[in-house]
Chains A and B, each alone.
Chain A
Amino acid sequence: AQSVTQLDSQVPVFEEAPVELRCNYSSSVSVYLFWYVQYPNQGLQLLLKYLSGSTLVKGINGFEAEFNKSQTSFHLRKPSVHISDTAEYFCAVSDRYNNDMRFGAGTRLTVKP
């Protein structure tokens, strides 16, 4: 079965600084990878997803992620964060043997002024 590990439970960063949220996955077959964001007291929203093709995926709000098959990683990056990016970020994986999605434990990003 596939699984996801988010290596950092909390990431504090100053406004306008770059940020990287790390995600590693395990699966024995080809995977599809997703990043979701959860703002306080809201449901999850899709930031971006990787299905195939270019390994660099661009999403909403200036975020991007790079799929690295050899390192089984899908790290999320933003070159300059805003206060409004403060939220919890979830990495998720699905594959053709499991018709559902497995979520990581989440990374809480806190952007400080």
Chain B
Amino acid sequence: DAGVIQSPRHEVTEMGQEVTLRCKPISGHNSLFWYRQTMMRGLELLIYFNNNVPIDDSGMPEDRFSAKMPNASFSTLKIQPSEPRDSAVYFCASRYGTAYQETQYFGPGTRLLVL
């Protein structure tokens, strides 16, 4: 069974460019989470969806960040325009059901470098 799939695995871009990160959750999972990991700030929750609906986006750093989940099998995290301080590893995770006690399954991450 395929796990959470993220693409691209690595992205190098220049400041000001638009960046789109993609995530395919595990089939049958109802919740999807986007996290950002940096040395300075650790693992931060950016936004999460239940049944394709955004529930909490309070972790999104600013308006340059946006996330969508048009259907149960696909989500995107977009940064426009990108800045060097956005450099980080971005993880997507999915969860079966919407209950807080369920396990989150993480993808391998997208390593973003903004020059």
Contacts and interface: CB of A to CB of B under 8 A. Distances in A.
Interface of A: 32, 34, 36, 41-46, 49, 51, 90, 94-96, 98-106
Interface residues of B, number: 22
Nearest to A33: B101
Contacts, number: 57
B101 A94 contact: yes
A88 B104 CA distance: 17
B4 A101 contact: no
B27 interface: no
Given A32-B101, A44-B106, A100 B43 contact: no
Q: Is the interface of A mostly helix, strand, loop or mixed?
A: strand
B2 to A, nearest CB: 13
Nearest to B98: A99
Given A100-B56, A103-B43, A43 B107 contact: yes
A46 to B, nearest CB: 5
B25 interface: no
B100 A101 contact: yes
B100 A95 contact: yes
B82 to A, nearest CB: 22
